[in-house]
A and B are shown apart, each in its own frame.
Chain A
Amino acid sequence: NAGVTQTPKFQVLKTGQSMTLQCAQDMNHEYMSWYRQDPGMGLRLIHYSVGAGITDQGEVPNGYNVSRSTTEDFPLRLLSAAPSQTSVYFCASSPSSGTGSNEQFFGPGTRLTVL
């Protein structure tokens, strides 16, 4: 299993540009999520999905869109990039989002810089 994969690893955008961060998992996990990690702060949840066709907002959803057409893929779209979106983005998956001891598996991250 490749686990959770993310592309690209690095990206530089200009303010106002749009782009899609890709995330895929091959573990047949129902739950997938996107986080951003900024210096001096804990990871913050952007959007999540509990299954194909179902998505919901997390703590910091503004400026981002997601969709979940398949179990495997969960892309994150930046609609109009802003310097405040400069961050490291992590995708994660787990078997479910319930209260069990489900481990979350994180991807390697995408480092995004918005100029």
Chain B
Amino acid sequence: KNQVEQSPQSLIILEGKNCTLQCNYTVSPFSNLRWYKQDTGRGPVSLTIMTFSENTKSNGRYTATLDADTKQSSLHITASQLSDSASYICVVLNQAGTALIFGKGTTLSVSS
């Protein structure tokens, strides 16, 4: 069964610190892998989209990496801010483009 597993489930860090969120998937082959940010009470917003041939993609302080061989992705957040407090969701699109498989998300809390 195609699955997307994220870790940790939740994370608390101090403002200004860096952190890395993990995503392991079993969807194979796949078309692309996406990271979304979901603020409390809002809809998910796209951060990055990577195809299977891309290793890294950045969006400001957010950098996503992808290792298609080990089926792992990570999202690195640099110099965290209070506004980074949110749920971060890893999503994989299957190769046919017919199904997005969503992870359960990692809840990040940034405290001052």
Contacts and interface: CB of A to CB of B under 8 A. Distances in A.
Interface of A: 4, 40-45, 90, 92, 97-101, 103-109
A97 B49 contact: no
Interface of B: 4, 31-32, 41-46, 49, 51, 89, 93, 95-105
A107 B51 contact: no
Contacts of B102: 42-44
Contact of B104 (A41, A90, A101, A108): A41
Contacts of A42: 4, 89, 101-105
A63 B97 CA distance: 25
Contacts of B43: 4, 90, 92, 106-109
Contacts of A101: 32, 49, 51
A73 to B, nearest CB: 17
Contacts of A41: 104
A97 B97 contact: yes
